[in-house]
A and B are shown apart, each in its own frame.
Chain A
């Protein structure tokens, strides 16, 4: 979906208070930010500023139908994200955005939908799942296939199962490795595609996760007959300005912050896996 024009003042972070914090996994935290009414499209991101440390692009992970609470799920993988994960209710956080393109929820009408997420890649897809749940009667079969490293690292699992049960979404979770007390599936997330019910010719797929996971998933989707024009991926690059000015996130002809992060596969498939970009 096309990116929106950035709002005036888009380079200045807006100071906001952290209103809530929930630990999701050992290294991942969900922050609720008091940013007033904050409209966004599923898949868009904000630049979040940990004051005195730095700024980083983080997808919005809340329910777009409830824009009164801005929600971000952050995994601690570096200095800035670590500082964000340590924020507590009442602390200040800087917010710029929303930026970028969104998931093609509007194209889901009458089609089967596969939502395929790996690791913290579930966070950018969570708003799309909420949006699909709201449009459930207009959409065909919906499957949410979620992969994680271990059972302890599955993101939002209870909430997604509840949402799935309520909205008639087939939620399947798999982990890369487990002990025998795990009753779910073991295996990489592309192996779940063979267990989902969908008609390839009328299927819309949304994929987000580590890029290697997305490449393997896309290969399996192609093998099963889903067209490239019906597959959407969310890419992650080194976003700085958020509006296509600085060029840090360039991927060939694509500026990921402006043209993405959600892109139709045929726009980027030739670039995925190219070491030089």
Chain B
């Protein structure tokens, strides 16, 4: 199935506001991917070769901890973005991502996105802006998690 720029323009918050020419470039890197329940979308340490935007299903981001079993640190569902490791060397995943139910996602080829961003720095800037915002939100959420606000002594 081919993803069109119009699909991206209307359906994905991450790409909201991109110019049509940039949407065309991004759409050229996309394909539709399906994962059955239990499948890994990515594994820690492996090459980060894609950016995923979930269309349906539920994915858990996990850290493998042999003494405890996997610890889930975040859940992603429809509309959520998975992956920024593809943006930065050495382009390897930092976490495991597991489909907890059948997942449909748009998968954007990382090498394709990087190459287009190198050729068109305005596209690269727009993507970096969007991922910076996403990382800021995730960083703030992580800080709140680290505060352990529900620990003993709190309300």
Contacts and interface: CB of A to CB of B under 8 A. Distances in A.
Contacts of B100: 183
Interface stretch (A60-68, A162-170, A184-192): A184-192
Contacts of B141: 187-188, 190-191, 216
B74 A212 contact: no
Given A119-B149, A187-B141, A209-B155, A195 B71 contact: no
A126 to B, nearest CB: 14
Interface residues of A, number: 35
A180 B149 contact: no
Interface in A182-211: 182-188, 190-191, 195, 209-211
A250 interface: no
B152 A210 contact: no
B70 interface: yes
A177 interface: yes
A190 B155 contact: no
B144 A179 contact: no
B12 to A, nearest CB: 14
B149 A209 contact: yes
A176 interface: yes
B68 interface: yes
B70 A180 contact: yes
B140 A27 contact: no
A212 B145 CA distance: 11
A186 B75 contact: yes
A180 B75 contact: no
B2 interface: no
A79 to B, nearest CB: 13
16 contacts: A75-B155, A77-B153, A149-B148, A178-B72, A179-B70, A180-B62, A182-B72, A186-B73, A187-B145, A188-B144, A190-B144, A195-B77, A210-B155, A212-B144, A212-B149, A236-B155
